[in-house]
Structure 1
């Protein structure tokens, strides 16, 4: 039996980044924006329209891949937002070097749900570098207040970037920030 894969082992020139967040926040859309048709989607018709009005929902991990050249690749893994799939989220966190936590800063539970995901991510033996994406339009004041709320909840300084998850260039910029954060962490290890 092989030992479990860790972020630092077994990926060669591939780095995995997980996308976490509530149902309907845009994880599938973000992966599609970055990878186009080179993604595996697990969307099925949404039968629970009480929980969310979206037509389709993700029921398994979704994967996409970006070739950075020189043998370096980034694999994106989107996790379902429903709590019943927490086992999948925990796996994705455990094998990822970076995390995008996606949030709607207008949602009444945004700070609490983001904080929960940040605690879950920080609880791993080698916590992945984490970046929060404000996936719905928000003012600079809202973003700063949200970041301050995360700091007050004990998460330290967590970057919160506004992005339109449908825009490939904005997602690539967010990916660039995460890669820079990873480089800085690796330099300090």
Structure 2
């Protein structure tokens, strides 16, 4: 059995907690509190992390850590990245500045470990006009490198596992490249 620490990063409201809950079968530790950020209509927000263990059919285990989205908690991002096998960055397709959003989360990754496997999940793509993926990837390449971009529904366990499969492919490729 192999264990993989996966860190899920992204802006507040991008779907990090939803994604973790979708595949955790209700076994989630969360640190949600009442939202006091006037820029968001969310009732609750994560202030430390979400955490869940997920056993995969092949016997491997995912240890998922969802970060808080507000940049005032960026010190937690760095702590959670320690020992990570891979990272999923969630972008909310309805957000006005996806290029800026991806830059916000790739900068600490580049400073921590530029070789760490990363996949970008594009949430809420079902309710938004699909953004210019090439533009998003140009910003990713400027900060780190071109990255896989996967539109998905954070509420769907099947689609979240598809996103995890893409990430695990990146993890395996990085391991083989050594």
State the TM-score, normalizing by the size of structure 2.
Answer: 0.89
1:40 partnered with 2:29: yes
Number of positions where the alignment pairs a residue of Structure 1 with one of Structure 2: 176
* 1:86-165 → structure 2 map (5 Å cutoff): 86-125=74-113, 127-137=115-125, 142-151=132-141, 153-165=142-154
Structure 1: which 4+ aligned runs deviate by more than 3 Å? 138-141
Q: Is the contact made by 2:106 and 2:143 (CA closer than 8 Å) also made in structure 1?
A: no
What residue ranges of structure 2 are gaps of 5+ in the alignment?
none
Match of 1:8 in 2: none
For residues 135 and 91 of structure 2, what CA distance do their matches in structure 1 show? Answer: 14
Deviations 1:62-87 (A, max 9, x none): 10111125652110000101122111
Using the alignment, how far apart are the partners of 2:121 and 2:168 within structure 1? Answer: 15
Distance 1:20 1:99 in 2: 7
Q: Classify the secondary structure of the residue corresponding to 1:103.
A: strand
Q: What is the correspondence of 1:9-20 to structure 2 with a 5 Å cutoff?
A: 13-20=2-9
- Cα deviation digits, residues 117-159 of structure 1 (max 9, x gap): 11211212474211111112155662233223433x2432211
Q: Deviations over 1:163-186 (max 9, x none)?
A: 110011010011001111111111
What RMSD in Å do the two structures reach over aligned CA positions?
A: 1.9
1:102 and 1:134 in contact (8 A); partners too: yes
Counterpart position of 1:3 = none
User: Any idea what SS the aligned residue of 1:131 has?
Assistant: strand
Matching residue of 1:58: 46
**Which of these two proteins has the greater Rg computed from alpha carbons?**
1
Identify the residue that residue 68 of structure 1 maps to in structure 2. Answer: 56
Question: 1:34 touches 1:172 (CA, 8 Å); kept in 2?
Answer: yes
